[in-house]
Amino acid sequence: MDIQTQAGTQHTTYQSGYGLDMRFGVLGTVELAHDGQRLSLGGPKQQTVPALLIANLGRPVSTDTLVHGVYGDEQSAGSRRSVQTYVSNLRAELGDVIKAAGHGHTLDAAHDEVDALVFGDLVEQAATAQDPDESSTQLHTNRVRHVPCRSVSDT
């Protein structure tokens, strides 16, 4: 995982179960990176699909849920087909990280590949600090800057 800190950059490499360097960013705009390269996700509707899969990491998300998440109550006859195309395009970019699961899909990513989960871990670590000053220092020292696609050499 890459964690950009105020004091400098702490870099730890992680690999998905498929041997790929994957990063999933949802703190700010939705961003995905594969082997250090930012993936094009398209517009807001297309970005909703990976956002929903990331929010439900490791759990199946039905196609109906994806369609409702993308279109809400504004669904048309082609909405389901469009969402299936969005998922197909993601699978073409990410491969087996997105798996078919019944009538939906699952994102099979490591906990450390998702920026929001890493940030949650940092908050939890700070919460266990013995005093408020130590807690504040831990959070500020380990603040995650949302740069899922930037490698250490880019900073």
Is it the case that residue 26 has pLDDT exceeding 60?
yes
Per-domain boundaries in the chain: 22-112
Q: Which residues contact 46 (CB under 8 A, 6 or more apart)?
A: 86, 89
pLDDT (tens digit, 9 = 90+) per residue, 31-89? 998 888 888 888 999 999 999 999 999 999 999 999 999 999 999 999 999 999 999 99
Start-to-end CA distance of the chain, whole Å, equals 15
Is it the case that residue 115 has pLDDT exceeding 50?
yes
Question: Is residue 132 classed as helix, strand or coil in its secondary structure?
Answer: helix
- The token pair that represents 105 in the structure block: 């899909």
- Average pLDDT, stretch 96-123? 90
pTM of the model: 0.74
Question: Is residue 151 classed as helix, strand or coil in its secondary structure?
Answer: coil
CATH code for residues 22-112: 1.10.10.10
- Mean pLDDT computed over every residue of the chain: 78
> With DSSP H G I counted as helix, E B as strand and the rest as coil, what are the percentages for the chain, rounded to 5?
45, 15, 40
pLDDT (tens digit, 9 = 90+) per residue, 129-146? 777 777 777 666 665 544
d(CA 99, CA 70): 19
